[in-house]
Amino acid sequence: MEQAKIGEELQKIPYEPLLPIELKLIRWSLGVGVVLMVILIFISYTYFPAGG
C-alpha cells in the first residue's frame, strides 16, 4: 500500500530543469575529478611501479 502512495506522490512532482549555475557546477566537478584522477594515476605509475 505504501509503494502505491509513494509512486503517486512522485508523479505529482513537476519537472524542474537544472539551472545554468547547477549545470556549470556539475561540469566543473566532473572536470576536476577527471584531472585529479589523471594526476593520481601518473603519480602512482611514476613513484610506485608494479613489480618493482
Over residues 3-21, the pLDDT tens digits come to 678 888 888 999 999 999 9
- In this predicted structure, the answer to whether residue 52 has a pLDDT above a threshold of 60 is no
Predicted pLDDT at 36: 98
Q: How many angstroms separate the CA atoms of 41 and 20, rounded? A: 32
Check residue 51 and report its DSSP letter: T
Mean pLDDT of 20-43: 98
| 15 domain residue, yes or no | no
Mean pLDDT of 22-30: 98
Structural domain containing residue 33: 20-52
| 1 domain residue, yes or no | no
Into how many domains does the chain fold?
1
Predicted pLDDT at 31: 98
Q: How many angstroms separate the CA atoms of 15 and 30, rounded? A: 24
Q: Residue 2 corresponds to which cell in the numbers above?
A: 505504501
Chain position carrying cell 594526476 = 39
Report the 10 Å Cβ neighbour count for 41: 10
- In this predicted structure, the answer to whether residue 40 has a pLDDT above a threshold of 80 is yes
